[in-house]
Amino acid sequence: MKRLTLILTSLGAFGLAACGSPEQSPVSATETAEPAVAMEDHGGMDHGDGSMDRTMEGVAHSTGTVRSVGNQGDFLTIEHGPFTGGFEMGAMTMGFETLGGVDLSGISEGDEVAFMVKQGRDNSFRITAVCNTATNGADCLDGMMDH
């Protein structure tokens, strides 16, 4: 029994060491030297005071320009500004899968959007909400955010 415990403990430690730290995880996108999109203060989404509840950890939001929409309607490439909220990410162009229930029918290439992203345990980023700011207003994401 002691031998089995030792083996399992060793395998667990080896598995954790192989994973590395989140800081070592590369983001598969090209960072830009300048912010891709000018960010405006729309109020209601500032989490700088640290009052964000624990349910929003790993969830952040940004605005940007849609560069492409996937053929299946479940993927967006967005040139976005910095993320704020449950994690930080600088401005870049990046592809995002969507979580089930996210409707992309009103989103087209070239649209200005506000969107919310959740970081998964696998360190991928998936869109949980998106809205067209030109047709729904600059604060359209506020109604979709539960915080």
Query: Percentage of the chain with pLDDT > 90?
Result: 44
Residue type, 121: R
Residue 113 has what pLDDT? Answer: 97
Q: How far lies 45's CA from each of 74, 122, 144, in Å?
A: 25, 26, 11
3-class SS letters over the chain: CHHHHHHHHHHHHHHHHHHCCHHHCCCCCEECCCCCCCCCCCCCCCCCCCCCCHHHCCEEEEEEEEEEECCCCCEEEEEECCEEECCCECCEEEEEEECCCCCCCCCCCCCEEEEEEEECCCCCEEEEEEEEHHHHCCCCCHHHCCC
Calpha distance 57→132 (Å, rounded): 24
Residue 4 has what pLDDT? Answer: 42
Token representation of residue 140: 């359209």
The yes or no reply on domain 31-144 and CATH 2.40.50.320 is yes
* Spans of all domains in the chain: 31-144
Per-residue pLDDT, averaged over 11-26, amounts to: 44
pLDDT interval class at 145 (50, 70, 90): low
Residue 118 has what pLDDT? Answer: 95
- How do residues 94-129 score in pLDDT, each as one tens digit? 999 999 889 898 899 999 999 999 999 999 999 999
Helix extents (H) in the chain: 2-19, 133-136
Residue 101 has what pLDDT? Answer: 87
Give first-to-last CA distance, the chain, whole Å.
49
Place of tokens 């983001």: 27
Residue 34 has what pLDDT? Answer: 36
- How do residues 28-81 score in pLDDT, each as one tens digit? 444 333 333 333 333 444 444 444 344 567 899 999 999 999 988 899 999 999
Residue 58 has what pLDDT? Answer: 87
